[in-house]
Homo-oligomer: A and B are copies of this chain.
Amino acid sequence: MKLDKNLNILIIGLGLLGGSYAKALKSQGFKVSAITKDKGDIEYALKENMIDYGTTEVDKTLIESADLIIFALYPKVFLDWIESYGNLIKEDTVVTDVTGVKGSIVYKVQESISAEFISAHPMAGREVCGVKNSNPEIFKGANYIVVPTDKNTEKGVEMCKALGDTLGFADVSVLGPEDHDKMIAFLSQLTHCIAVSLMCANDHPDLVRYTGDSFRDLTRIADINDEMWSELFLENKKALLDEMDSYREAFDKLYNHIKNGEREDMRQMMQLSSARRKLFGKRKTS
Cβ A222 vs Cβ B273 within 8 A: yes
Cβ B188 vs Cβ A215 within 8 A: yes
What residue of chain B has the Cβ atom nearest to residue A244's Cβ? B255
Q: How many residues of A contact B (CB 8 A)?
A: 89
Q: Is A224 an interface residue (CB 8 A)?
A: yes
CA distance A124 to B266 in the complex (A): 23
Pick the contact of A251 from B197, B224, B243, B250 — CB < 8 Å? B197
CA distance A222 to B192 in the complex (A): 17
Asked whether A193 and B233 contact (CB < 8 A) given A199-B277, A200-B269, the answer is: no
Cβ B209 vs Cβ A143 within 8 A: yes
Q: Is A223 an interface residue (CB 8 A)?
A: yes
CA distance A230 to B230 in the complex (A): 36
Cβ A196 vs Cβ B247 within 8 A: no
Q: Is A28 an interface residue (CB 8 A)?
A: no
Query: What string of 1s and 0s marks CB contacts (under 8 Å) between A182-199 and chain B?
Result: 010011101111111111
> Within A187-219, which residues are at the interface with B (CB < 8 Å)?
187-188, 190-205, 207-219
CA distance A223 to B194 in the complex (A): 18
> Within A112-127, which residues are at the interface with B (CB < 8 Å)?
123-125
What residue of chain B has the Cβ atom nearest to residue A271's Cβ? B226
CA distance A248 to B259 in the complex (A): 15
Contacts of A255 in B (CB 8 A): 193, 241, 244, 248
CB distance from A90 to the nearest CB of B (A): 33
Q: Is A2 an interface residue (CB 8 A)?
A: no
CA distance A282 to B217 in the complex (A): 9
CA distance A247 to B202 in the complex (A): 8
Contacts of A194 in B (CB 8 A): 194, 198, 218, 251
CA distance A208 to B278 in the complex (A): 10
> Within A229-278, which residues are at the interface with B (CB < 8 Å)?
229-231, 233-234, 237, 240-241, 243-244, 246-255, 258-259, 261, 263, 266-267, 269-274, 276-278
Which 10 pairs from chain A and chain B are nearest by CB?
Answer: A226-B270, A199-B273, A197-B251, A222-B277, A201-B247, A223-B277, A197-B250, A201-B250, A226-B267, A196-B273
For this complex, 7 residue pairs linking A to B, each with C-beta atoms less than 8 Å apart, are A125-B214, A197-B247, A200-B253, A200-B269, A216-B280, A224-B274, A248-B251
